[in-house]
Amino acid sequence: MSLKLSILGCDSAIPTINKHQTAQLLNVNERFFLIDCGENTQIQLRKFELSFQRIHHIFISHLHGDHYFGLIGLITSMHLLGRKKELHVYAHAALKEIINIQLSVSKIDLNFPLFFHVIPEDSEIVLFKDDSIEISNILLNHTISCSGFIFKELKYDRKIVKENVEKYNIPYDKIIDIRKGFDYIKENGDIISNNLLTTENTPAKSYAFCSDTRFFSNIISKIRGVDVLYHEATFCHDLKERAYETGHSTTKDAATIAKEANVKRLIIGHYSKRYSDLNQLLLESREVFSNTFLSQSGDLIDFNSI
Amino acid sequence: MSLKLSILGCDSAIPTINKHQTAQLLNVNERFFLIDCGENTQIQLRKFELSFQRIHHIFISHLHGDHYFGLIGLITSMHLLGRKKELHVYAHAALKEIINIQLSVSKIDLNFPLFFHVIPEDSEIVLFKDDSIEISNILLNHTISCSGFIFKELKYDRKIVKENVEKYNIPYDKIIDIRKGFDYIKENGDIISNNLLTTENTPAKSYAFCSDTRFFSNIISKIRGVDVLYHEATFCHDLKERAYETGHSTTKDAATIAKEANVKRLIIGHYSKRYSDLNQLLLESREVFSNTFLSQSGDLIDFNSI
């Protein structure tokens, strides 16, 4: 079981040759979830040799171009490359119209089913759930409706202690219950404690993505204790008024959220183009929350090593 | 006076790390006309150090994504960088809605005036004209409405022969007429022939852009004698049926158009991704029209050297 996060782009607003807009790929046990899709994301996926045909779910935080202008190109390329498998897009309602009008004028009839799932603008819901992960939106505070996302692995079943399962002759059809933590009750009423039959599995991991947003304390309770928090930090703290006006956070805003929520690791991003040296952002954030790291295109974060 | 064409992208359909979709920048005496705008065009402009704030006119041939998906990002970046000067976009009608809905949902109120000019789908008109250039659309034959463009420099005024103008005491206020080719008539009725006073100027140049299109002989009369013809050549000629089905041309189609229209130079492009070696496209085209060249990203074609 594993969770791995690839950073495809971590810059704000205006793309340049070496600056790429927000896009991240979360690998949950070899299933791939794309988060945001700035212009050129399909090229970034190619650059890092990440197959975009394996992406089945795309989450778009909000409808500023630096978070979604690459989506229509990615969808079109998936089609031209012969994709058959369905694709699910989770976004605010207007994106459906934006995508559909572009497919319509080009007379593209997609080879694959494309499902839109509307992210509510004023409530938080479970957007996706299966037997290994649950994904919900988080209301953020930006200049337009904006959604963060929290990815929670579901608790893993316990690990079987093989020699004891054999020793106590546990029937095969009881293993599922045993892995879920139930004791085994023999026909004569004797109880074999689950602690003899299983051990704790790897702890379930969690990831929270919060961009774009002003400092917004409502987030804290929702992301408490996550393994990794990505929180935008567009500006250094001397520009806190500029951050507020433009709906963004400073380094210290991000770090304060991380600290208050007691997350294990903070990664920051969505850097304003004014910062040629990102270390000033990093160092300032670390003054509040020491376990801060910069996100940079090409980074791969393995949650098992945190 | 000069005409220079920069190739920003010359590949079809699917962008990759080294393949860039159609986009060209025509420099007419330091005024810049962008032709098509595939995803990532703004990065290509940066790569070749071409200021996109100096572009005032953008021509979009048709609404397949590989020809316009980069436009909304370019317009947004122009805005974010503080552009004030007006921008004119020439395209089929639906593009206006596509751009406007995206600006609307992001609540971007552009800093600069953006004018849409609708290219007619069934007639050819002068789209733009000033004192140095005239630009018209050319109806092409693709799978959806598609327009080529012809850029014709207007005839330059003749060059003054300074010593003769002084020798014959030509009044200053007559110079404009003299440059336009009129003789000078002295007060006593004597005629000073214009040939004594002026010489021929650089010939006016012309450029035709034809992509995407099937082989379409209607084009020939409209582009006759142009200095440079860009004509798509998506496929080698063995795939002529595939070309026809998909609304494209082969090398020999492009070369036949060039030959019949008696153009000075043909540049081909819009290569299918199947061709890793473009020389086969080039050599095949040269069998029909020897003065064929490949277009490649980064090329700069100076019309004065043709």
- For the cut 70, the answer to whether the pLDDT of residue B1 exceeds it is no
Query: What pLDDT score does B156 carry?
Result: 80
Q: How far from chain centre, in Å, is Cα A155? A: 17
Choose the closest CB to B73 out of A47, A69, A80.
A69
Average pLDDT along chain A: 95
Minimum-distance CB partner of A80 among B13, B46, B77 = B13
Chain B residues lying within 8 Å of A65, measured CB to CB: 72-73, 76, 102, 106
Residue B118 has pLDDT above 90, yes or no: yes
- The average confidence (pLDDT) of chain B is 95
Contact yes or no for A106 and B39 at CB 8 A: no
DSSP codes, A158-224:
PEE-HHHHHHTT--GGGHHHHHTT--EE-TTS-EE-HHHHEE--PPP-EEEEE-S----THHHHHHT
pLDDT in tens, B63-76: 999 999 999 999 99
Q: Which of A80, A92, A97 sits opposite B14 (nearest CB)?
A: A80
Mean pLDDT computed over B100-110: 94
Q: Does A64 touch chain B (CB under 8 A)?
A: yes
- Give dist(CA A161, CA A175) in Å, integer: 11
Q: Is-contact A255 A263, C-beta < 8 A?
A: no
Distance from CA of B228 to the nearest CA of A (A): 29
Nearest to A93 by CA among A29, A169, A144: A144
Distance from CA of B285 to the nearest CA of A (A): 27
Tell whether A106 is within 8 A of chain B (Cβ). yes
Q: pLDDT tens for chain A, 306 residues: list them.
A: 689 999 999 998 888 888 899 999 999 989 999 999 999 999 999 999 999 889 999 999 999 999 999 999 999 999 999 999 999 999 999 999 999 999 999 999 999 999 999 999 999 999 999 988 999 999 999 999 999 999 999 888 899 999 999 999 999 999 999 999 999 998 899 999 999 999 988 888 999 999 999 999 999 999 999 999 999 999 999 999 999 999 999 999 999 999 999 999 999 999 999 999 999 999 999 999 999 999 999 999 999 888
Torsions phi, psi for A21 (to 5 deg) = -75, 170
pLDDT reported for residue B155: 80
Most confident of A10-19, B1-10, B208-217: B208-217
Residue B132 pLDDT level (bands cut at 50, 70, 90): confident
In this prediction, residue B2 carries a pLDDT of: 82
Q: Which of residues 22-61 of B touch A (CB under 8 A)?
A: 39-40, 42-43, 46-47
Interface test with B, best of A37, A41, A42, A106 (most B CBs within 10 A): A106
| pLDDT classification of B300: cutoffs 50, 70, 90 | very high
Are the beta carbons of B39 and A143 separated by less than 8 Å?
A: no
Q: Is A86 exposed, middle or buried, given 0-12, 13-18 or 19+ CB atoms closer than 10 A?
A: exposed
Q: Which of B66, B107, B67, B108 is nearest to B89 (CA)?
A: B67
- Mean pLDDT, residues B188-203: 91
Contacts of A43 in chain B (CB under 8 A): 15-17, 40
Nearest CA in chain A to B82: A14
What are the chain B neighbours of A98 within 8 Å (beta carbons)? 98, 101-102, 105
Residue A16 has a pLDDT of 84
CB contacts, 8 Å: B81 with chain A:
14
Select from A43, A31, A98, A42 the least CA-distant residue to A75: A42
Tell me the two tokens of residue A133.
């992960």
Q: Which of B43, B63, B106 sits opposite A65 (nearest CB)?
A: B106
Catalytic residues of B: 66
- Residue B157: the pLDDT is 86
CATH fold of A3-156+202-305 reads: Metallo-beta-lactamase; Chain A (3.60.15)
Read off the pLDDT of residues B154-181 as tens digits, 9 standing for 90 and up: 888 899 999 999 999 999 999 999 999 9
Which residue on chain A is closest to B48 by alpha carbon?
Answer: A17
**Chain A within 8 Å of B176 (Cβ-Cβ)?**
no
Could you give the 3-state DSSP secondary structure of residue B130? Answer: coil
In 3D, which of A267, A205, A196 has the Cα closest to residue A230? A267
The pLDDT assigned to B166 comes to 92
**How would you class A225 by CB atoms within 10 Å of its CB: exposed for 0-12, middle for 13-18, buried for 19 or more?**
exposed
B interface test, pick of A105, A143, A248 with most B CB neighbours within 10 Å: A105
Contact B101 A107 (CB under 8 A): no
A101 and B94 within 8 Å at the Cβ level: the answer is yes
* Contact predicate B219/B140, CB 8 Å: yes
The share of chain B scoring above pLDDT 90, in percent, equals 87
Query: CATH 3.60.15.10 region(s) of chain B?
Result: 3-156+202-305
Average pLDDT on B72-99 reads 97
Per-residue pLDDT, A23: 97
Say how many CB pairs under 8 Å bridge A and B: 91
**Per-residue model confidence (pLDDT) at position A201:** 86
